[in-house]
Amino acid sequence: MPVDYADAAVYFVVFLFSTTLHEAAHAWAALRGGDPTAYHGGQVSLDPIPHIRREPVGMLLLPLFTAVVSGWPFGYASAPYDPEWAERHPTRAALMALAGPAANLLLVLIAGLMLRVGAIGGVFYAPQSVDFGHLSEGASPGWTIVARIVSGFFSVNLLLAVLNLLPLPPLDGSGALPLLMKPESGRAYRRFLRASPFLGMIGIFVAWKLCELLFDPIFFAVVNFVYPGVTYG
């Protein structure tokens, strides 16, 4: 299938902004919890430059390359934190882990509200069918472009949230598990993860497989809230 470069450009810009917000949320939550490591690295910021400087391949080069080749940006990012702080305060570290996907869910909510308000205002309307990144039609060519951008924010951030909330290392859902444990168990769990870096490779592979199964039902369930009375699936 030929690459749709218009979609690829939208997805790349959305990926860059959304990943920046995701990592800034981690950094802000860590700072609030008593760890200024990411703050001193400049990551408590919506400016993508400090985040790109930390992960130039994952934030810029790899997403650009994969967007051009496949139409979809693939990449990664990270915010630094003090592992000793995380071990001393497993609950605070777990909240730091949740802050990233929470930021993505906030963008999903904002994009969904924009689509809904646009539909009420007559500038957007529900299409006959929806798929990833195409959730709305515009009343004019200009509004069609806006609809594509907003749909991109909705879809990409929902995917980032669902993927990162899976409780598998090295994803944020795994980092949030100490919230369900006693403090000493949470510390032991974090020590185990630090001593077992190979689990991250296995976790990423399993997470992609799980996400393939879980994402579509979640996607259509959430989209159906955007257009009450219209059912997609």
Q: What is the pLDDT of residue 198?
A: 84
Lowest mean pLDDT among 87-91, 149-153, 193-197: 193-197
Task: Using CA atoms of 29, 85, 162, 8 in order, give the dihedral in degrees to the nearest 10.
Answer: 70
Cα(80)–Cα(24) distance, integer angstroms: 11
- Give the residue-averaged pLDDT of 83-101: 95
Q: What is the pLDDT of residue 143?
A: 96
Q: Is the residue at 169 inside a domain?
A: yes
**What's the pTM value of the predicted model, to 2 decimals?**
0.95
Query: How far is residue 66 from each of residues 104, 146, 153, measured CA to CA in Å?
Result: 21, 24, 18
What is the C-alpha end-to-end distance of the chain, expressed in Å? Answer: 23
Q: Decide: 167 and 176 in contact? Cβ < 8 Å.
A: yes
Q: Is 138 helix (H, G, I), strand (E, B) or coil?
A: strand
Q: What proportion of the chain, given as a percentage, has pLDDT over 90?
A: 87
DSSP state of 179: G
Query: At residue 193, does pLDDT exceed 80?
Result: yes
Q: Is the residue at 21 inside a domain?
A: yes
Q: Which residue segment(s) compose the domain that 127 sits in?
A: 5-226
Q: Is the residue at 198 inside a domain?
A: yes
pLDDT bucket at 158, cuts 50 / 70 / 90? very high
Q: Decide: 31 and 39 in contact? Cβ < 8 Å.
A: yes
- Give the residue-averaged pLDDT of 192-199: 85
Question: Domains in the chain: how many in total?
Answer: 1
Cβ-Cβ contacts under 8 Å for 114 (sequence gap 6 or more): 150
Q: Is the residue at 127 inside a domain?
A: yes
187: nearest Cα among 178, 177, 197? 178
Q: What is the pLDDT of residue 227?
A: 86
Q: Is the residue at 233 inside a domain?
A: no
Query: At residue 1, does pLDDT exceed 80?
Result: no
Q: What is the pLDDT of residue 201?
A: 87
Q: Is the residue at 232 inside a domain?
A: no
pLDDT averaged over every residue in the chain: 94
- Give the residue-averaged pLDDT of 61-86: 95
